[in-house]
Amino acid sequence: MKSKYFSFLFLAISILFVNNTRGQDDKSNFEPVYITVRTLHGVEGSDLEEWRAVEEEYFDKVINKIDLLLSHEVLINYFDNNLSEVKIINVFKKWDDIEKIYNIRDDLIEKAWPNEDERKAFFEKQNSFYSNFHSDEIYTSTEFGKYLSPEIKKVRKESFVFFEKTSILSDYEDDDSYKYYEKYVENVIFNNPLIRAYHPYRHFWGADSREFIEMLVVDSMEDLEAVLKTNQDLLDKMVPDPLKRKEFLKIFEKAIEGQSTAIYKNIPSLSK
């Protein structure tokens, strides 16, 4: 019995979060990491606390002991506060580490549940929370990330708010669009003190090669609302002239064909 929570099809999967803080000044030393995202859907009527207890046991006995995992997060829908959508997000330093994790995981599972019947019962229970429908994607990080320090993650007891923006990039190519994005990140995102972390990552393997994901991490919904105003103030400061600012945004947005957003919260007890 394998876990839907952490099983892979081919090399599939699970935004995230590199265990070091890096500024925009050391892009010359940048090395991308691999972010795997498995999206699961809970069975209607599942008990959230019962689910949390099962996943905490699996996390403590297996996930948290896998050193190859640079980071691990479990996100659920912020507003529904249920298992309608569960994102399991893992970060690996190297592509090969995604494959190596199989044997490590299986060994830890056997040690944690040496009795075969008990092991089978545990994973039947874990899998019972999820439907068979899931999706898997792999992304790579970009050089414009702003990351939470591991010290903050260790002591954090409350959930962070994760604002996810998914952009579908257009076929239109304009070097200025990329330059304007870089300028925006450096002058707005990096200068907004309310943004605790910024995770931009691009498609590597999955359904749509045009996907570009940006994840903003903040302390609360109140901070997320304030972020939008602060971003606008910083943009106004960066491009004071209204006409030039309008032109800046026009070029900046040319590279984007469509966008969608979602808001999640993490489960601190399942955060590595």
3-state secondary structure of 196: coil
Asked if residue 107 and residue 154 are part of one domain, the reply reads no
Q: What's residue 176's pLDDT?
A: 83
Among 106, 141, 176, which residue terminates a domain? 141
228 and 134 both lie in a single domain: no
Distance CA 69, CA 90 (A): 7
* Residues 66 and 100 reside in one and the same domain: yes
Is there a single domain that holds both residue 32 and residue 137?
A: yes
Contact 20, 71 (CB under 8 A): no
Pair 124, 1: CB distance under 8 Å: yes
Q: Cβ–Cβ contacts within 10 Å for residue 258, how many?
A: 10
Both 236 and 167 in a single domain?
A: yes
Q: Is 183 in the same domain as 116?
A: no
Quickly tell me which residue has 């569960």 as its tokens.
86
Same domain for 38 and 122, yes or no, is yes
> Positive or negative CA dihedral for 225, 227, 232, 236?
positive
Among 141, 170, 205, residue at a domain's last position: 141
Note whether 119 and 36 are same-domain residues. yes
Task: Say how far residue 269 (Cα) sits from the centre of its chain.
Answer: 16
Task: Answer yes or no: is 123 within a domain.
Answer: yes
102 and 165 part of one domain: no
Domain boundary among 97, 116, 141: 141
- The answer to whether the beta carbons of residues 104 and 66 sit under 8 Å apart is yes
The whole-number pLDDT of residue 223 equals 96
**Based on the domain organization, do 156 and 113 belong to the same domain?**
no
127 and 30, same structural domain? Answer: yes
Specify whether 120 is located in the same domain as 166: no
37: which 2 tokens?
A: 């995202």
The pair of three-digit structure tokens given for residue 171, joined into one six-digit string? 């076929």
The string of DSSP letters for 198-243 reads EEEEEEEESS-TTEEEEEEEES-HHHHHHHHHHHHHHHHHHS-SHH
Q: Is residue 11 domain-resident?
A: no
From first to last of its 272 residues, the chain has per-residue pLDDT tens of 556 655 433 233 333 333 333 344 456 678 899 999 999 999 988 999 999 999 999 999 999 999 999 999 999 999 987 899 999 999 999 999 988 998 999 999 999 999 999 999 999 999 999 999 999 999 999 989 988 887 888 888 999 999 999 999 887 766 688 889 999 999 999 999 999 999 999 998 877 888 999 999 999 999 999 998 999 999 999 999 999 999 999 888 888 888 999 999 999 999 99
Range of the domain at 181: 150-266
